[in-house]
Structure formats: C-alpha cells, structure tokens
C-alpha cells in the first residue's frame, strides 16, 4: 500500500500549494507602494532639530565624529572670541557610512540619528555627501525621544512666558507710573493709586500669564528680542 501512501502525500503537497495560490501576495509594488520601515531601522543619517525652537540639537561636541568607524562624519566648528563653538561645517558622507549607529549612541544630546528613511540614492556619488542644511531638512519630520538632561528647550519656553507676563505687568505699570510721577510731582497722593494699580495688576496677571504660556511656543525669536528691549526700557524707566 506504499503506492497509496505516496499518492496521498502528493495530494497533500498539492493542497498546500493550492492553499498558497489562494492567499494574498506579500509583494510590495515598490514605486507605487512603499514599505514603512520600523521606527528603529537604521537608514539615512539626519540631524535632529529642537521640537519647539527648530534649532539644531547639536552642541558640536564632536563625539559622533570620533565614534564614527568609517570617518563618514566631518565637523568643523572653531571657537569664536568668546570661546563658544560656532558650527562651520557638518558633513555626512553616506557613501562612507556603514549605518552602524555608533554616532547615535555616542550623542548625548539627541542630535544625530539614523532615521528610518531609505530612499536617498543619487546619480553622482558626490551627492551622497550631505551638508548641515540637508541633514537638518531631512531630519525635521523624524520622530525621536528627547533625552537631553538639562532640557534647555523647556527653559527657553518658560522664559518668554515669564518675560511676557513681566513685560505686560511692567508695561501696565510703566504707562501709569509715568502719569503718577507727574501727579506725584504735582500733588501728594502716592499711596492710593499705586495700591489700586498693583491690585489691578494682580487680578489681571494670572490670566495674562496663561495666555502667554499658551502662545509662547509660537513666538519667533524676533518678537522675543523686541520684548526684551521693551523690558529693558521699562526697567530703565522704573529705575
């Protein structure tokens, strides 16, 4: 009965192939469909930007450059007169890069990452050397966990809020005190208006504070500067 058993085995094999015939193909039709790579897959090297300010997280410590086994990273950041590093050049040669991820591990500031993007082939090998602008642009929409200990970004976010509150308070203070000063110079009623003023400021301040916190991430550096100068002016005025 070996023949029947063999025959049965053949039928079994055909059932398996028949089942597979009915299944969906797992092929991804590449240019039309693209594979979503895993979050941790190591593709193109990018520089990460701060989530709020949009500035580079990089502190130019050059640890990644030293960690790189293939010398694919080149950083040129000479110190200026204040002994602060100024980023002159940050290049990653993707033709040299071996996608080991050691730079990512070396970085203490969540500044460099191997993103899960994989389409960066070029016609010319020289185009594989990316400068800082390209590295930053490609890295803008790359999600990452910010592991920086000091969180300077949070401080930067908090500072303008305080400043703004101060600013408005002092502006309110500054507008009236000038009148008051006049009054003071004219007549003698220093305590009453000041008390009412501060009370009014206390009432309005918390609401203004919240608003300031809400809107602070959208603030641009320019407005920050103007605000600071205004602050200085009022301080001077106060003084």
Partner 1 sequence: MELYPVFMWLHDLLESTGIGEPWSTIISYGFLAVTVFGTLSILALFLVWWERKIAGHIQQRFGPMRTGWHGWYQTIMDAVKLLQKEDIRIATRDKAVFFWAPVVCFVAAYLAYVVIPFGENLIVADLNVGILYIIAVTTFTVISLLMAGWGSNNKYALLGGMRSAAQVVSYEVPMAVSILTVIVFAGSLSMVDIANAQQGNIIFNWFIFKPPFGIIAFLTYITAATAEANRTPFDIPEAEQELVAGYNVEYSGMKFAMFFLAEFVNLFTVSAIAVTLFFGGWHGPLLPSWIWFLLKTFAVILLLMLFRWTFPRLRVDQLMEFAWKFLVPLTFANLILAGWFKYAGWHW
Lookup result for tokens 């200085």:
232
Query: Rule CB under 8 A: which of 8-27 touch partner 1?
Result: 10, 13-14, 16-18, 20-21, 23-27
Measured distance CA(154)–CA(216) in Å, rounded: 11
Q: Determine the length of the chain.
A: 239
Contact segment (CB under 8 A) with partner 1 among 7-15, 106-114, 172-180, 228-236 equals 7-15
Considering the rule CB under 8 A, would residue 220 count as an interface residue with partner 1? no
Which residue from 94, 116, 111, 108 is spatially nearest to 42, judged by alpha carbons? 116
Nearer to partner 1, 35 or 175 (CB): 35
Nearer to partner 1, 20 or 40 (CB): 20
Cβ-proximal residues to 78 (8 Å cutoff; 6+ apart), any chain: 85, 86, 88
* Cβ proximity of 99 and 46 under 8 Å: no
- Residues touching partner 1: how many (CB under 8 A)? 15
CA angle 226, 174, 165 (to 5 degrees): 55
Least distance CB 10 / partner 1 (angstroms): 7
Least distance CB 120 / partner 1 (angstroms): 24
Residues that bind partner 1 (CB under 8 A): 3, 10, 13-14, 16-18, 20-21, 23-27, 29
């Amino acid at each position: 009965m070996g023949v029947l058993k063999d025959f049965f085995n053949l039928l079994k094999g055909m059932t398996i192939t028949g089942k597979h015939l009915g299944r969906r193909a797992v092929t991804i039709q590449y240019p039309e469909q693209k594979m979503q790579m895993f979050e941790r897959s190591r593709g193109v090297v990018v520089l990460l930007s701060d989530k709020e300010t949009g500035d580079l997280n990089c502190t130019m410590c050059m640890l990644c450059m030293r960690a790189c086994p293939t010398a694919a990273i080149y950083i040129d950041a000479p110190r200026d007169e204040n002994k602060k590093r100024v980023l002159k050049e940050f290049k990653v040669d993707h033709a040299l890069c071996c996608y080991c991820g050691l730079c990512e591990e070396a970085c203490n500031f969540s500044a460099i990452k191997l993103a899960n993007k994989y389409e960066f082939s070029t016609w010319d090998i020289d185009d594989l050397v990316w400068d800082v602008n390209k590295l930053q642009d490609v890295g803008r929409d790359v999600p990452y966990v910010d592991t920086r200990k000091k969180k300077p970004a949070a401080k930067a976010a908090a500072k303008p809020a305080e400043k703004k509150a101060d600013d408005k308070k002092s502006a309110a203070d500054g507008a009236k005190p000038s009148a008051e000063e006049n009054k003071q110079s004219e007549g003698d009623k220093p305590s009453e208006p000041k008390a009412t003023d501060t009370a009014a400021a206390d009432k309005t301040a918390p609401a203004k504070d919240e608003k300031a916190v809400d809107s602070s991430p959208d603030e641009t550096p320019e407005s920050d500067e103007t605000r600071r100068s205004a602050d200085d002016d009022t301080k001077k005025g106060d003084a």
